[in-house]
Structure 1
Amino acid sequence: MIRAIRGATTVSNNDEREIVDETKRLLIEMIRQNDVNAEDVVSVLISMTDDLNATFPAKALRHLDGWTYVPVMCMREINVPHALPKCIRVMMTVHTKRAQQDIHHVYLRDAIQLRPECE
């Protein structure tokens, strides 16, 4: 079965190190909570809001052992008025035996307000 795992986080600054570190933290938590193996990943899409452009957040994925061959793409989030600023969102598509209700979506930092039921 193919399922998507959602995640989001925020950063305080448009800073390369902070963007990579926080994206890595989010990815690790998504992987941990859903017991994901790199071999089971179809692809990973990562978006950032317009106020972030210091680096590609996909660099974080390349820092994970065994994730070298996982396809990843970065993109811009739609610029909606009053949207959560400095936000990084991830959509990880995986092969899994988990039922849809057993997928753990991960929201960190200020992104918790996007999905308060995921706290």
Structure 2
Amino acid sequence: MSIRAVRGATQLDVDQADHLLERTAELMREVLRRNGLGADDVISIFLTATPDLRSAFPAAAVRGIGITDVPLMCAQELDIDGAMPRVVRLMAHVETSLPRDEVRHVYLHGTTVLRDDLAGDAR
């Protein structure tokens, strides 16, 4: 078993709490599903949100899907001119037997442009 980092992002249509929680939960579920992981495989998760997202903490969505006993941290993404708006990003540290080159990073709702080299079969 190795420790690996899995990256991902999703873009919101609007800054509304329910929408932010729904999109963040979807992102976390996809990270788990695409990598064959369960909640017990997660070590920690670092989440960021762009400065235009203020309606809810992304970590609340992760807790809402049952990942309640791992360290989570939220931070604000850098406010760079021209950056994609309304984006939640995550980096999850997980225990997995997958080799590094088989880890599947997840980019949803238009965010593949952020890291198309990592996105794989993102939608």
TM range (shorter): over 0.9
Deviations 1:35-54 (A, max 9, x none): 11222211001100000011
Deviations 1:34-78 (A, max 9, x none): 11122221100110000001110111111213x221211111001
In the TM superposition, what is the alpha-carbon distance from 1:115 to its structure 2 partner?
Answer: 2.2
> Is 1:72 matched with 2:75?
no
Return the alpha-carbon distance in structure 2 between the equivalents of residues 25 and 37 of structure 1: 14
> Is 1:103 matched with 2:103?
yes
Return the alpha-carbon distance in structure 2 between the equivalents of residues 29 and 39 of structure 1: 15
Q: Matches of residues 1-119 of structure 1 in structure 2 within 5 Å? A: 1-65=2-66, 67-117=67-117, 118=119, 119=122
Could you tell me which amino acid in structure 2 is paired with residue 109 of structure 1?
H
In the TM superposition, what is the alpha-carbon distance from 1:95 to its structure 2 partner?
Answer: 1.1
Return the alpha-carbon distance in structure 1 between the equivalents of residues 63 and 81 of structure 2: 32
Structure 2 gap segments, 5+ residues each = none
In the TM superposition, what is the alpha-carbon distance from 1:116 to its structure 2 partner?
Answer: 2.5
Poorly superposed stretches of 4+, deviation over 6 Å: none
Q: How many residues align?
A: 118
Q: Structure 1 length normalisation: TM-score?
A: 0.94
Structure 1 gap segments, 5+ residues each = none
Return the alpha-carbon distance in structure 1 between the equivalents of residues 24 and 54 of structure 2: 14
Q: Structure 2 length normalisation: TM-score?
A: 0.91
